[in-house]
Amino acid sequence: MATEVKICGLSTPETLDAAVDAGATHVGIVQYEKSPRHVPLAEAAKLRRRVPPEVKLVLVVVGMEPAELARAYEAVRPDVIQFHGGETPEWMTLAKQHMLVETWRAVGLREEKTLENSRKFVGACDRLLFDAPATPVPGGLPGGNGVSFRWDILDGWNAYMPWGLAGGLTADNVGEAIRRTGATLVDASSGVEDEPGVKNPSKIKAFVEAVRNVS
């Protein structure tokens, strides 16, 4: 099965189109005002209308209150909601049931025991997305920091649910990442940018091509 590709943090029509044209299976829009990739809801709704049916739109949220999440869902109508904050399994289960949408959970993978601890999300979401741990500095973002983690943590892991790989992935290292971990979905954001929040269509194309060239 071909590896799925998510290009995250898209914020303009040109870069969203570039991701679709390159062959991305998922495109991500960020709803988090502290992020340089944040897109206001009205703009996010416009971008959503550019996404063809065969590509899934992922709405990335961080610690949204229920009413706020409901507004975002109604405005954007994503195919997937990716939780990237301190949301509990119970809250995620409720969101999944009431919105009838696919849900993912980003997990900062610092050590092997995190894999076992993540079992609490079984049934609360449809996919785990392993990322580098959040930057431990004031104002640090929960993701999109261009930082990788030790892929060897996943060596021998017996996956108990679907999962994907994020964290510092670029066209130069994504092939090695897939071969090393067996990831069936990879997620790039900063790795296809010229600067935080500024996507480069050429880098997007190169990233997707690198994934497709993995043997």
Query: What are the structural domain ranges in the chain?
Result: 4-212
Question: Residue type at 100?
Answer: L
Is 144 in contact with 109 (CB distance < 8 Å)?
no
Which residues are bridge partners to 31 per DSSP?
Answer: 61
Architecture of domain 4-212: Alpha-Beta Barrel (3.20)
The string of pLDDT tens digits covering residues 58-70 is 999 999 988 999 9
Q: What is the rounded average pLDDT of the residues 109-122?
A: 93
Could you give the angle at which helices 13-22 and 201-212 cross, rounded to 10 degrees?
20
pTM above 0.75, yes or no: yes
Digit-coded pLDDT (tens) for 70-91: 999 999 999 999 999 989 999 9
SS (H, E, C) 164-185: EECCCCCCCCHHHHHHHHCCCE
Q: What is the separation of C-alpha 31 from the centre of its chain, rounded to a whole number of angstroms? A: 12
